[in-house]
Amino acid sequence: MEVQGPGDPKSTDGNLLLFIHSEKFLNDLPQDRQVLIVSENLVDLAKSKNPKLLISTKNINLAQSVICKKFFPIVVKQIGENLIHASVCLGDNSKIGEGTSIGPNVVIGHNVSIGRNCKIKPNTVIEDGTSIGDSTHIHALVYIGPNTKIGNFCEVHPNTSIGSEGFGFANDNTGAFHRIPHYGIVEIHDYVEIGSNVSIDRGKVENTVLHEGTKIDNHCHIAHNVKIGKHSGITAGFIVAGSTTIGDHFTCGGRTSVTGHIKITDKVQLGAVSTALKNIENPGNYAGFPLQPHGDAIRTQASLPALPKLKRQVAKILKKLGL
């Protein structure tokens, strides 16, 4: 049996590999599809669609990730015939590993080390002293500040800034601002992925660190001296202020904020649009502002629409009591 590749369940093409995450997609699916891969709880319903091949899995998202990368990889050809484009500006004592491709108009500073089989896309700037490990992909229009360390198998998406100075100023007696130099760097460990339009500031004295396997969505800000643990999943709009330490396996919903100079332990989940203002010492699922355990936050949110009516009722009671 041969399929063209993964497809949209709404497509009329019958020769697609379809990953079905929910009952909704199955209900709308035509009969006699080529191959369906479904969650275990959807097997009986999927059989009614009479697919040519039905595969069930405990983890549909993981199955989609592994199968698509192995059998249907996305291949983007390098611009230009040579691995290193003629327009690349390469500084003194910089080393480029075997099999690495560098696109047009890339600027690479002095004493930069780039590993093997990397991809550096057009118009990226890599400042002096930076090191990049093997098989790392830096997309177009990325800025990487001086002495940044990026590990193996990382990916940085377009328009992201890594290693610029953080927001560090001192006031004099007139109230004027004076910038404080930042001597720290950014360390990005292996298998980290960073989305588009992300800003990660280098440390003032300590380093800003993203540990192994962490994934950061688009439009996030990581301030100076922040440390984020292993295998954390950070979604769009996340903002964390300076000198905060976040443990391993941290996850958060969109537009979550974390204040500076606090510590968050391992295995903490924060709901969307939540704000953490103090240390979180116990693993668990939290949400809201002020932050509460997730169940309490839902009940608090559900009660808010009733507050105006409750306020009027309390006012009537107080008036009746002459208070």
Considering the domain architecture, whether residues 184 and 51 belong to the same structural domain is answered as no
Considering the domain architecture, whether residues 97 and 146 belong to the same structural domain is answered as yes
Considering the domain architecture, whether residues 29 and 98 belong to the same structural domain is answered as no
* CA gap 144, 93 in Å, rounded: 18
Residue 280 confidence class, pLDDT cut points 50, 70, 90: very high
Catalytic (active site) residue 189: no
Residue 303 located in a structural domain:
no
Which two tokens mark 301?
């949110």
pLDDT at 76 over 80: no
Considering the domain architecture, whether residues 97 and 65 belong to the same structural domain is answered as no
Domain span at 99: 89-298
* pLDDT mean across residues, the chain: 92
Considering the domain architecture, whether residues 202 and 284 belong to the same structural domain is answered as yes
Torsion of the alpha carbons at 22, 27, 30 and 35, rounded to the nearest 10 = 30
Considering the domain architecture, whether residues 206 and 265 belong to the same structural domain is answered as yes
- Amino acid identity, position 276: A
Q: Tell me, what's the pLDDT at 77?
A: 58
pTM: 0.86
Q: Tell me, what's the pLDDT at 13?
A: 73
Considering the domain architecture, whether residues 28 and 94 belong to the same structural domain is answered as no
Considering the domain architecture, whether residues 134 and 39 belong to the same structural domain is answered as no
Q: Tell me, what's the pLDDT at 323?
A: 86
Considering the domain architecture, whether residues 112 and 215 belong to the same structural domain is answered as yes
Q: Tell me, what's the pLDDT at 83?
A: 87
Catalytic residue among 137, 139, 224, 261: 224
Considering the domain architecture, whether residues 199 and 271 belong to the same structural domain is answered as yes
Considering the domain architecture, whether residues 284 and 229 belong to the same structural domain is answered as yes
Q: How many domains, in total, are found in the chain?
A: 2
Considering the domain architecture, whether residues 221 and 107 belong to the same structural domain is answered as yes
Q: Tell me, what's the pLDDT at 72?
A: 87
Which two tokens mark 147?
């002495």
* CA gap 308, 313 in Å, rounded: 9
* CA gap 86, 104 in Å, rounded: 7
